[in-house]
Amino acid sequence: MKKMITMSLVGALALTGLQAASNAELEARIADLENKLEKTDKTLKDVKIHDAFDNIKFGIDFRNAVDVLDYKDNETGETASNNSLLTSRLYLTMAAAPMKGLIFKGKLAIYSTWGAHIYDESMGLKDWSVSSKASDTVMRVKEAYFVYSTDVGEQPVSLSIGRRPASNGFLANYRENESEPGSPLAHITNMEVNAVMVRLGWDRFVSGAYTKFVYGRAHSGDTSGVYSLDDAHSGDTSGVYSLDDAPTNPWGPNAKLDSDDENVDFFLALGDAYNDGQYQIMYQWAHIFDTKGQQFNDPSTKKAAAGEADLFSVGLKVDGIGDEISDFLDETTVFISGAYTNYNAKDGYQLLGSTDGGSQDGTSV
């Protein structure tokens, strides 16, 4: 009996020792695995951070539409119509954040009519507007810009340069069935702009208030540098280029010719005067330098720098009427927008049919 008890005690002690050893070894292996897992998580986090700053995120916005058009010229009585304008619009969006405080945004666009030519060379197409008009099947740059945001003391400041997103702003976004409006106000501006922008936030003073200052260029003056000698001798300096043509402007094709076709630059000041999420008051002023017109009674000078223009707009949007009166009123949006324009022609020129050197005003609500 004593031998059996002794052997049992020895066996129990041996098993206890083995179990203790196994537990210690298991705990060591667990600790080692946890250490490796922690290192893996850290490496994965570093990879994700690097990946976030190193890659461009792509998105797709595709839609088709049918439009019915009826036009009438109120002066001549001439009419035009199209009972089935079929269009397809594809946006390929891009976004990246290469460093803290800096973001890049881009958008490539194809906006074509069904059965369109593969490439449209219409005179009415400009680089800042062609991707917003239904035309051909060419993919173009609609937006490409960066925004750098920081705080200067207590003042939030953002700087942006590039092809700015400036179409389908307030009012036009409802027509395009887009819930979020772009900037600026579409009542007076609805085109992409090549510009530099500075944004100052005033939210610490007034809820949601901010101001943007934008300076850009909508048209480059006549820089045609190469055309045929025959055309030059005949006075036709339209800038049509061919390999056989001789350069009559040795500074071309990017240097300005001595002509009345000036650069068209613009300056905008716009923003929100108040925005608490339900009530939003928006404003915009735009000044256009050397806007295009013609010399009085001379239709051949369509690209003349004919004067300046000022455009003002103020809008109010209310998202939801009252304070939870009913679901219907909560989901109702009410808006009103007003605009004023003034085109001031130089002496010897006319704008919008104004008299020689006159001023033309307009309003709309």
What's the per-residue H, E or C state across the chain? CHHHHHHHHHHHHHHHHHHHHHHHHHHHHHHHHHHHHHHHHHHHHHHHHHHHHHCCEEEEEEEEEEEEEEEECCCCCCEEEEEEEEEEEEEEEEEEEEECCEEEEEEEEEEEECCCCCCCCCCCCCCCCHHHCCECCCCEEEEEEEEEEEEECCEEEEEEEEEECCCCECCHHHHCCCCCCECCCCCCCCCCEEEEEEEEECCCCCCCCEEEEEEEEEECCCCCCCCCHHHHHHCCCCCCCCCCCCCCCCCCCCCCCCCCCCCEEEEEEEEEEEECCCEEEEEEEEEEEEEEEEECCCCCCCCEEEEEEEEEEEEEEEECCCCCCCHHHHCCEEEEEEEEEEEEECCCEECCCCCCCCEEEEEEC
Q: Rounded to whole angstroms, how far apart are CA atoms 315 and 246?
A: 54
Going by pLDDT thresholds of 50, 70 and 90, the confidence category of residue 365 is very high
Q: Is the pLDDT of residue 185 over 80?
A: yes
Query: What is the pLDDT at residue 274?
Result: 96
pLDDT band at 39 (very low <50, low <70, confident <90, very high): confident
pLDDT category of residue 202 using cuts at 50, 70 and 90: very high
Q: What is the pLDDT of residue 90?
A: 95
What the block records as the tokens of 28 is 């060591």
243 has pLDDT over 50: no
Instruction: Give the start-to-end residue ranges of the domains of the chain.
Output: 55-152
Write the pLDDT tens digit of every residue in 144-184. 999 999 999 999 999 999 998 888 899 999 888 888 888 88
CA distance 9 to 12: 5
Show the tokens assigned to 36. 């490796």
Check residue 251 and give left, alpha or beta (phi > 0: left; psi -120 to 50: alpha).
alpha
Q: What is the mean pLDDT of residues 247-251?
A: 58
Predicted confidence at residue 284, as pLDDT, reads 97
**Residue 238: pLDDT above 50?**
no
Bond from prior residue into 247 cis (ω within 30 degrees of 0): no
Q: Which residues pair with 214 in a beta bridge?
A: 197, 268
| For residue 126, pLDDT beyond 80 | no
The pLDDT value given to residue 349: 84
Has residue 228 got a pLDDT over 60? no
Query: How many residues make up the chain in this entry?
Result: 365
Other CB atoms within 10 Å distance of the CB of residue 184: 27
Could you read off the pLDDT of 138-153 as tens digits, one per residue? 899 999 999 999 999 9
CB 213 within 8 A of CB 194: no
pLDDT for res 241: 41
Per the DSSP assignment, residues forming a β-bridge with 334 are 318
Whole-angstrom Cα distance, residue 19 to residue 13? 10
pLDDT, position 203: 93
Phi, psi (degrees; rounded to nearest 5) at 28: -65, -40
Please state which of the ranges 48-57, 136-145, 193-202, 342-351 shows the lowest mean pLDDT: 48-57
Bigger pLDDT: 355 or 364?
364
Q: Provide the pLDDT confidence category of residue 3 given band limits of 50, 70 and 90.
A: low
Burial of residue 347, with CB atoms counted within 10 A of its CB: 0-12 exposed, 13-18 middle, 19 or more buried? exposed
Confidence class of residue 106 from pLDDT cuts 50, 70 and 90? very high
Beta-bridge partner residues of 157: 150, 200
The predicted structure's pLDDT at residue 363: 95
In this prediction the pTM is 0.74
In angstroms, rounded to a whole number, what is the distance separating the alpha carbons of residues 286 and 186?
12
Structure confidence at residue 233 (pLDDT): 45
Which stretch of 73-77, 116-120, 298-302 has the lowest confidence by average pLDDT? 298-302
**Between 62 and 245, the higher pLDDT residue:** 62
Q: What angle do CA 146, 283, 94 make, to 5 degrees?
A: 20
User: What mean pLDDT value characterizes the chain?
Assistant: 82
Question: Does residue 299 or residue 310 have the better pLDDT?
Answer: 310
Q: Residue 258 — pLDDT band, cuts 50, 70, 90?
A: low
Report the distance separating Cα 356 and Cα 352, nearest Å: 11
Position 239 confidence tier, pLDDT thresholds 50, 70, 90: very low
Task: Give 119: exposed, middle or buried? Use CB within 10 Å, 0-12, 13-18, 19+.
Answer: exposed
